[in-house]
Structure 1
Amino acid sequence: MIFRFFFWVLDLFYRRTLLGGKVPPSGPLVIVANHPNGLVDPIVVACVAERQVKILGKEPVFRMPILGWMAKLAGAIPVYRSQDGHDTDLNRGVFDAVHAELAQGEAIVLFPEGISHNEPGLQKLKTGAARMALGAEALAGIPLGTKVIPIGIVYRNKARFRSNLAVEIGDPVDVAPFVDVWNQNSKEGAIALTKEIDSALRKVMLDLERWEDFPLLELATKILDDEDEHRVTHLRNLAIQGKETFEKDPEQLLKLKGRLSRFDAHLKRLGLSVEQLDASCSPPRMAWFTIQNIVSALLGLPLAALGLLYWLPPTLLIMLAVKLGKPEEDIVATVKVLGASLFFPIWMACSVWISQHYLPTSTFGLPEYLFAFSLLGFSGIFGSYFLRQRKEAWEEFMVLVRLLSMKRLRSYLTNERDSLRKVLRGGLDS
């Protein structure tokens, strides 16, 4: 029940896309994922697993007000970390609990990096996931069929409401081939399986060495304009392609990055995007574009205003919590999601109380409240969309105005884009 509520909040906050396969519906599983977004990541994994899971979390969470209660209610298992001031020998009980769960065919979730972070790539993995999986197989005495399921989590802008979230479920890693090595030397067995887990995770996430590479990778995906692949898959494939090219011919890759950087600088200086180079900017097109957006703004404004004004008080409280709490970048979304889970229901309850005390008692019954909150919920989401669309429409209008007066420069940039597209499609061999 507690998970279902947070699944709803998650899909309200993010626009989630599921890629890859599916988590097996039965059998013992160790589900592992990268960890870029604090307490939001466990909710994401539990949501896409579509089966009951037991989540391993750092012990301090279990002592936090409300969060600790929810973690215990969800059946989470505390992990004792040295950086939290704990004796790691306490984790013997954790391993026993995990082994028991796996022996019963259950699924556990953990984040083998050991920390939530804001780094561009996968951090060095701890061996805990491998030791838990192999330990369960060894203790059972018979093959359990334990598998490790890698899940990659990629946020477009993790702290922004209604931003994109891509979750990719990778191919299962079979634990059985590593059991013999574990029985002979547990350390070597754990290291070998951890390497396999590391490789599996990198195949389903965006694994970069530097954040500075991300804008150029994103620019390259827009230049290629391949609609057959999801954006995250495309970014990952380009990143892998870039690493392979760097190993073969680093000078060639640096030359390409230089061209992309110069092309990007031209676009930014003119306030253009790659897609807008092909935009039609004739006077009739601009007139029709203007009429369309004025009509859309006039029609949508009442509903957008209703939603934005009604949800403004709890939104301001969440913003205040972020400002006063000053969380690390990888925890901002956690504060926002948990704040929304707390402040929005309280605000709705206050609305009911106000309506009961200050409106005629016969005005609102259960059907009226359900209709009102459905309308207000929809109008809040629509209000966010409305503001984003109006901002994008204004920016596009200004682009069309600029394009009218820069035909030669536009032609040059279009030719450069097409040339870069040929290079990128040729496997960086040009």
Structure 2
Amino acid sequence: MASPQAPVTSLLSEARGKNAQLENAQVVPGTRSIDTEATFQHWIYDMIIWCLSVVFDLFFREIRPRGAYRIPRHGPILFVAAPHANQFIDPIMLMRQIRNEAGRRISFLAAEKSMHLKFVGTVARSVSSIPVARAQDLAAPGTGLIYINDKEKPLVIKGQGTKFMKECDHGETIILPKSLGSAEIASIVSDEELILRRPFKDEKAIDHLLSGPSKFKRAPKIDQSQVYAKVFERLNDGGCIGIFPEGGSHDRPDLLPLKAGVAIMALGALEQNPECDIKIVPCGMNYFHPHKFRSRAVIEFGPPLSIPKELVKAYSEGKKRESVQELLDMIHNALLAVTVTSPDYDTLMVIQAARRLYKPAHKKIPLSLVIEMNRRLVIGYTHYKDDPRIIHLREAVANYNKQLRHLGILDHQVEYATFPILEILGKLVYRSLKLFVLSLGALPGVILFAPVFIATKKISKVKAAEALKASSVKIAARDVVATWKILVALGLAPALYWLYALLATWATWKYDLVPQVRPVWLVTVAAMIVFPAITYAALRIGETGMDIFKSLKPLVTCLNPNKVNAIAKLRITREELAKEVTEMINSLGPDVFPEFDSHRLMQS
């Protein structure tokens, strides 16, 4: 990113001058006060958050904040959130929790590309989002292929059929495929040779280029001075800025490298005004199956970070690269403390299984504690991953997961193997009848809302495929699925209910279905209340029914003579694994967490 100092100073001075004029304008008769304008903006902000919160409460079964008491009630705050699992949902979710828990309002940095979307752009502008042009959004495929010829010279990039002189310029960025990283161009020697300012950070990127020619993208250098100026102004006025420092949404189980912009914003604002005392609050966006309807989320807030004065001084004295990197490391460590990250998806599945095995049977624990247990298990696993005991235990837990998938049951359903056959049969009959009754109750709402369900599923799949094709960091593009499901539902559901209401009104007028209702437009009003209510009732009934439906398969499996022995063996395997996992955690836990025994998360 470009150095913001000179242009930022002038823009900041201009902005402060305008603010001073507006403040003076309050004493002039007939002039609208700034307080009135600010109140109106706050009202718009709160209305949008409230309206979208209603939709989010329908999509998510449970949303819980954790550690919200840590949020400062006054002064400038830079909220840094990760992982960025949903492009549209994450900022609204965070804005809602911070508004409800701390009474603060945030201005988020939003990708300029997203601001061009009709609905998203309107919402973003209404909540005072700051548009940011991102290099990856402007990246274009480069002609030819690139490679490194000599491992001892990682700065020298060679080309085959490339047009560096025509297509590239110094200061621009070369981006490798498969999330291998990017590097800035220092100079261009010829059409088939250029020099990087610094080598690619990841050794895998260098190995990739050494192994043979690779495709690449080129991204222009972007001047972000105006963005920095707006951020500095907001922070110096005591406001709140929100940013996802990974730079883009993704569906990976670990954090992406943080962009330098977040550190430049914090250090630059303190360089402009050392007395503004900016706090950085890490926010962990922890989701359980975020792409699925009626999933769960925990938003965790970590302790506020104060930026050391020595770091600001070093930044002011020209040691910008070192200062920015040190602050990025601080932010990264703070985010690790409030998020559940793992090196890969399989490891995360094993960690979650170990957490379930460690939990005492029949004991329900709050969602926020589940997140904390997952995080500690990830830390412990990372610390002891090369220990033969942990390697053996991982293989055993992974094999247990595989057996669960083979039998088509969930971990908490293994207990059914302990029930007598008659008891299992009784449960199966009772739950089947209950599911039938619930299905009848939910049927009208399901029929009414079916077009929305079908449209959201199809459109979200198409958008996910498009996002996956265009991205180098996504695994299955599940980060855009929930976003598009909500966006499509927001647009289609009201239109569908209006159509139902108009059809009901027309039928009432045409066939005199309700003679006593006059005027007929009252039917429209009633329909716009009744039809959504029927759908919401179906949602709540269907949620219970789906839980019952999922419990039927293991009951049927337990009645299958061919699988009774397999399930009985699996129950014994679970008991042994639970004992082994518990002993391992209780044995190694104090070495990783000194306060393990005195602050035990789960009492047996």
TM value normalised by structure 2? 0.66
Look up the SS of the partner of 2:489 in the other structure. helix
Which segment is superposed worse, 308-317 or 365-374? 365-374
- Cα deviation, residue 105, structure 1: 0.9
- Cα deviation, residue 319, structure 1: 2.4
Tell me which residue corresponds to 1:292: 430
Tell me which residue corresponds to 1:243: 382
The CA distance in 2 between the partners of 1:91 and 1:366, in whole Å, is 51
Alignment of 1:48-87 (within 5 A): 48-50=97-99, 51-85=104-138
- Cα deviation, residue 369, structure 1: 4.1
Tell me which residue corresponds to 1:30: 78
The CA distance in 1 between the partners of 2:530 and 2:267, in whole Å, is 53
- Cα deviation, residue 386, structure 1: 4.3
Tell me which residue corresponds to 2:555: 397
The CA distance in 2 between the partners of 1:93 and 1:408, in whole Å, is 66
The CA distance in 1 between the partners of 2:406 and 2:499, in whole Å, is 49
- Cα deviation, residue 78, structure 1: 0.8
Which segment is superposed worse, 408-417 or 329-338? 408-417
The change in CA–CA distance for 1:287 and 1:151 in structure 2 (over 3 A counts) is same
- Cα deviation, residue 221, structure 1: 1.1
The CA distance in 1 between the partners of 2:357 and 2:328, in whole Å, is 37
**Pair 1:421 & 2:581 matched:** yes
The change in CA–CA distance for 1:414 and 1:133 in structure 2 (over 3 A counts) is closer
The CA distance in 2 between the partners of 1:197 and 1:138, in whole Å, is 19
The CA distance in 1 between the partners of 2:54 and 2:587, in whole Å, is 42
- Cα deviation, residue 402, structure 1: 4.7
Tell me which residue corresponds to 1:343: 492
Q: Considering only CA atoms, is the larger Rg found in Structure 1 or Structure 2?
A: 2
The change in CA–CA distance for 1:273 and 1:162 in structure 2 (over 3 A counts) is closer
Equivalent residue for 1:4, pick from 50, 57, 80: 50
Percent identity of the aligned residues? Answer: 22
The CA distance in 1 between the partners of 2:588 and 2:411, in whole Å, is 20
Which segment is superposed worse, 16-25 or 344-353? 16-25
* Structure 1 letter corresponding to 2:405: K
Tell me which residue corresponds to 1:98: 231
**Pair 1:210 & 2:210 matched:** no
Cα distance per residue 1:263-289 (max 9 Å; x no partner): 333333344443334334214422431
Alignment of 1:345-364 (within 5 A): 345-360=494-509, 362=518, 364=522
Partners of 2:246 and 2:259 within 8 A in 1: yes
Tell me which residue corresponds to 1:275: 412
Cα distance per residue 1:30-53 (max 9 Å; x no partner): 111111222221112212111211
Equivalent residue for 1:195, pick from 317, 320, 329: 329
Which segment is superposed worse, 275-284 or 24-33? 275-284
The CA distance in 2 between the partners of 1:99 and 1:84, in whole Å, is 24
Tell me which residue corresponds to 2:440: 302
**Structure 1 segments unaligned to the other structure (5+ residues):** none
Which segment is superposed worse, 81-90 or 342-351? 81-90
- Cα deviation, residue 202, structure 1: 0.7
Partners of 1:30 and 1:108 within 8 A in 2: yes
Which segment is superposed worse, 64-73 or 124-133? 64-73
- Cα deviation, residue 375, structure 1: 2.2
Structure with higher helix content: 1
Look up the SS of the partner of 2:499 in the other structure. helix
Cα distance per residue 1:160-179 (max 9 Å; x no partner): 11011221111111125433
TM value normalised by structure 1? 0.90
Partners of 2:280 and 2:305 within 8 A in 1: yes
Look up the SS of the partner of 2:564 in the other structure. coil
* Structure 1 letter corresponding to 2:573: L
The change in CA–CA distance for 1:354 and 1:122 in structure 2 (over 3 A counts) is same
Look up the SS of the partner of 2:79 in the other structure. strand
Partners of 2:281 and 2:303 within 8 A in 1: yes
- Cα deviation, residue 241, structure 1: 0.5
Partners of 2:312 and 2:323 within 8 A in 1: yes
Which segment is superposed worse, 50-59 or 178-187? 178-187
Partners of 2:409 and 2:553 within 8 A in 1: no
The CA distance in 1 between the partners of 2:288 and 2:250, in whole Å, is 15
Partners of 2:76 and 2:235 within 8 A in 1: yes
The CA distance in 2 between the partners of 1:4 and 1:271, in whole Å, is 40
The change in CA–CA distance for 1:9 and 1:97 in structure 2 (over 3 A counts) is same
Tell me which residue corresponds to 1:388: 546
Cα distance per residue 1:215-257 (max 9 Å; x no partner): 21111111111555622221111111101112xx433321221
* Structure 1 letter corresponding to 2:304: P
- Cα deviation, residue 259, structure 1: 1.9
Partners of 2:558 and 2:564 within 8 A in 1: no
Cα distance per residue 1:380-418 (max 9 Å; x no partner): 422541452242131232243259932862564244234
- Cα deviation, residue 103, structure 1: 0.9
**Structure 2 segments unaligned to the other structure (5+ residues):** 1-46, 139-218, 468-476, 510-516, 590-604
The CA distance in 2 between the partners of 1:272 and 1:321, in whole Å, is 30
**Pair 1:333 & 2:470 matched:** no
Look up the SS of the partner of 1:205 in the other structure. coil
Alignment of 1:95-134 (within 5 A): 95-134=228-267
Please provide the CA RMSD for this pair: 2.5
Look up the SS of the partner of 1:348 in the other structure. helix
